Amino acid sequence: MADDQHDRPAAEASPSPAAGGLTRRRALLGGGILGVAAATGVGGYAAGKASADDHTAPAGIVPFHGPHQAGIATPAQDRLVFGAFDLQIETAAELRELLREWTRAAELMTAGRPTGTVAGHPEVPPEDTGEAEGLPAAQLTITFGFGPSLFELDGRDRLGLRAKRPRALRPLGPLPGDELDPARSGGDLCVQACANDPQVAFHAIRNLARIARGSAVLRWTQLGFGRTSSTSRSQATPRNLMGFKDGTNNIRAEDTDKMRRFVWVGREEPQAWFRGGSYLVARRIRMFIESWDRDRLSDQEAVIGRDKVSGAPLTGEREFDEVDLDIKGSDGLTVIPPDAHIRLAAPKINDGQSILRRGYSFTDGIDARTGQLDAGLFFLAYQQDPHRQFVAIQRKLGVGDALNEYIKHVGSGLFAIPPGIRRGGYVGQGLFER
């Protein structure tokens, strides 16, 4: 069993029926529910041996290396596990060591491989926790971020990195309507693990937490069971828990001009090391779905500004018809009401600003205070400058959005997402270089 340190044996790399002893061909042909996973699994296995930044990587593997971190422009995967960490170390050298170790582990896991031995020497604990053994890479991406507190905590230059702080990594500050739970907010570091198999995403966060032992500890996590955004033209628009299509006018990765103007940090950033990065705003948005469900259809559509079934703006007939904020009805009022969500979020009334949304629906049991479902949207948005973009838009939404009757922001995080990682390098490497 010593030789299974990095390569999964063939019998493990694809689901096998109870009778055992099937061939890869059988797995590829599929059969029942597992057919697709099996097919992807074979790709994942093969690619474990290919170069991870090979743009011809087999299906199931998202290249880890590149100019930007994966998991931003990557077509949004179906499942999310997100973790925010608090540091327990006191020097930049220790942070660098953690980031090196995390990078190595992420390279392996995103290629569908374990972080180390699943079953090595009998007398030592396995290096990898094992629950993803036999599963394909499932488009896993692991995206790392740095919170403001990494650079300055209570006014202290805690790690000697303050001079390297990205320009716009200043706390978001209080926003209208916020009811933030500190236990679900903040963090010195974050890791966004997205995959099409939740067990693969969970395995990633768990193993990174394990590797961080003694250096960083999980502060909060969030499971997202279903994506609520499309980030590629190849994806349909999913519905959120209000039953509406969400993110119809989201930035798509194919809009390279918008990605450059609104998502990637460019030359406006004085910290050269951070160019090619982005900023992530994470907001846990509780939806009061029981109240929403009691609202009449016409009001739901007026609150959002779209048709519930088709997703068309109230001024159009099809989902992607232009949102016309000026058209008036026979009553002389604008068809899209003054407080409609799509009006207040529209680039047109936000100085042209836009953000790349990449959120997920969540459900975390029952709210003990009310007996209602603790469910909603875990909003993730990538942008070039969170103050010019998210904060400015949210100041409008937080005050005027008709949707505020049905939602509440209860958790918040801001993270600087370093640029992509080159082969042999590690995430945030520029922090430690002159």
Q: How far is the CB of 195 from a copy of itself (least distance, A)?
A: 11
Amino acid at 102: W
If the CB atoms of residues 51 and 370 are measured against a copy of itself, the closer one turns out to be 370
Amino acid making up residue 318: R
* Nearer of residues 100 and 239 to a copy of itself, judged by Cβ: 239
CB of 40 to a copy of itself, least distance (A): 10
CA distance linking residue 276 with residue 284, whole number of Å: 26
Q: Is 258 left (phi over 0), alpha (psi -120 to 50) or beta?
A: alpha
Measured from the CB atom, the residue of 139 and 429 that comes closer to a copy of itself is 139
Closest separation in Å from C-beta 320 to a copy of itself: 5
Q: Are 281 and 386 in contact (CB under 8 A)?
A: yes
Q: How many CA atoms does the CB half-sphere of 352 hold within 13 Å?
A: 3
Least Å distance, CB 143 to a copy of itself, is 18
What is the C-alpha separation between 45 and 136, in angstroms, rounded?
A: 7
Distance of closest approach, residue 288 Cβ to a copy of itself, in angstroms: 13
Q: Which is closer to a copy of itself, CB of 298 or CB of 330?
A: 298
Burial (0-12, 13-18, 19+ Cβ within 10 Å), 55? exposed
Token pair 């890479």 in the structure block, residue: 137
Q: Which one, 32 or 173, has the nearer CB to a copy of itself?
A: 32
> Nearest approach, Cβ of 397 to a copy of itself (angstroms)?
21
196 or 429: whose CB is closer to a copy of itself? 196
Looking at residue 156, what DSSP letter applies?
A: B
In three-state secondary structure terms, 248 is: coil
**Are 10 and 48 a contacting pair, CB within 8 Å?**
no
| Least distance to a copy of itself, CB of residue 270, Å | 36
Cα–Cα dist 126/73, whole Å:
34
Contact 418, 280 (CB under 8 A): no
Spatial separation of the C-alpha atoms in residues 159 and 263, rounded to whole Å? 28
Q: In this complex, which beta carbon is closest to a copy of itself, that of residue 241 or of residue 325?
A: 241
